[in-house]
Amino acid sequence: MTDRRSKHLQRIAALLAGLAALLVVIAFAVVPRFIATAPQGPTVGGSFSLIDQNGRSVTDADFRGKVMLIYFGYTFCPDVCPTTLGNVAQAYDLLTPAEQAQVVPIFITIDPERDTVDQIAQYVDAFSPAMVGLTGSPEQVAPVLKEFRVYAHRVETTDGNYSVDHSSILYVMDKKGQYATHFSGEVTPKEIAAGLKKQLAG
Ligand code: NI
């Protein structure tokens, strides 16, 4: 082996070692963060103090004794929110009256600037008379988004308006207000209703 060739190999070996070290660093830095953001255990959710669609101040404590089915979104959402809330309304209709009395579907806005009390009222009413719509000042809403680990990112649109990219998760909170389970992705009204019935039975 020539001297030049061995130097070349040494350089490649050093480069590979460097790359391996970098991968380890990335894995330790990034992977736990992904795991930590997945809803799990009692660390998801918490107290909130917001305004309902009738303009009344409400807190999470007002819903004790009921299973809360909570969804975060915004009324100007073009697709995901209306689809999901439509499924929620259908799921609620699949429950017996006795079960319905123990469940409250709640829509919480991630866009309090545009989602005024009147806007929220019209919106939730279009889905179900049983649905509670919650808004508030940005200062009231922000900590709730944090507690539920909601991803919401404002994106300016060309028409001078904006949309909000957001996570789409249905949270099931038990009668004590603690996280019970969640639905994500495409979930049918039947699946949501089955999950709620199971929660009520358990
Ligand atoms: Ni949406």
How does pLDDT run across 8-45, given as a tens digit for each residue?
767 767 766 666 665 655 565 555 544 445 555 458 99
Q: How far is the CA of 7 from the centre of ligand 1 (A)?
A: 57
Cα(first)–Cα(last) distance of the chain, in Å? 72
Q: How confident is the model at residue 202 (pLDDT cuts 50, 70, 90)?
A: confident
pLDDT of residue 132: 98
Q: How far is the CA of 140 from the centre of ligand 1 (A)?
A: 20
Q: How far is the CA of 151 from the centre of ligand 1 (A)?
A: 11
45: left (phi > 0), else alpha (psi -120 to 50), else beta?
Answer: left
Stated pTM of the model:
0.79
Q: How far is the CA of 64 from the centre of ligand 1 (A)?
A: 27
Q: How far is the CA of 163 from the centre of ligand 1 (A)?
A: 9
H-type alpha helices, 38-135: 80-93, 97-100, 117-127
The strand pairing partners of 58, in sequence order, are: 50
Percent of the chain with pLDDT over 70: 83
Q: How far is the CA of 19 from the centre of ligand 1 (A)?
A: 40
Q: How far apart are CA 182 and CA 169, in angstroms?
A: 7
Cβ atoms of 69 and 179 within 8 Å: the answer is no
Q: How far is the CA of 4 from the centre of ligand 1 (A)?
A: 61
pLDDT of residue 192: 98
How does pLDDT run across 98-136, given as a tens digit for each residue?
999 999 999 999 999 999 999 999 999 999 999 999 999
Q: How far is the CA of 18 from the centre of ligand 1 (A)?
A: 43
Q: How far is the CA of 189 from the centre of ligand 1 (A)?
A: 17
Q: How far is the CA of 180 from the centre of ligand 1 (A)?
A: 23
Q: How far is the CA of 42 from the centre of ligand 1 (A)?
A: 25
For strand 179-184 and strand 169-173, is the pairing parallel, antiparallel, or unpaired?
A: antiparallel
Q: How confident is the model at residue 187 (pLDDT cuts 50, 70, 90)?
A: very high
